[in-house]
Amino acid sequence: MAARVAYRRIYEDPTPQDGKRVLVDRLWPRGVSKEKAGLDEWLRDVAPSADLRRWYHHDPQRYEEFRRRYHAELEDSDHQDPLRRLRDLSAHAKVTLLTATKDVDHSGAAALAEWLDGA
């Protein structure tokens, strides 16, 4: 199956190629109105835990370990409902995971997209 899950920054303008736009950050991004965001859903409960996010602190040197820990967190029962929703959305349309993180390639959205494509 072709990759049906992409990721990008929420600060970029929506495009028709985005498909369903899903914010996957726990916190609402600064300076973005709900109208400008153009979201289909906000699944904050799929985001990395606060402890993991603080430990990672967006340090690219820690990304591989962050990704491993986050993938392990995704197996927890707390993440199952939002993951089920993302799987359902991606089974029917392209999904773009949105994040406020500056380094989108070393973000929770990137790790989540990888996990979803491998699931």
pLDDT at 31 exceeding the cut of 70: yes
Contacts of 5 (CB under 8 A, 6+ apart): 86, 90, 94, 95, 96, 97, 113, 116, 117
Please check the confidence at residue 57 and state whether its pLDDT lies above 80: yes
pLDDT digits (tens, 9 = 90+) for 75-106: 999 899 999 999 999 988 999 999 999 999 99
Predicted pLDDT of residue 119:
60
Whether the full predicted model's pTM is greater than 0.85, yes or no, is yes
Q: What is the mean pLDDT of the chain?
A: 93
Predicted pLDDT of residue 25: 97
pLDDT at residue 19 greater than cutoff 50: yes
Length of the chain: 119
Reported confidence tier of residue 117, pLDDT bands at 50, 70, 90: confident
Q: What percent of the chain has a predicted confidence (pLDDT) above 90? A: 87
Q: What is the DSSP letter of 107?
A: S
**How many Å from the N-terminal Cα to the C-terminal Cα in the chain?**
11
67-78 pLDDT per residue, tens = 999 999 999 998
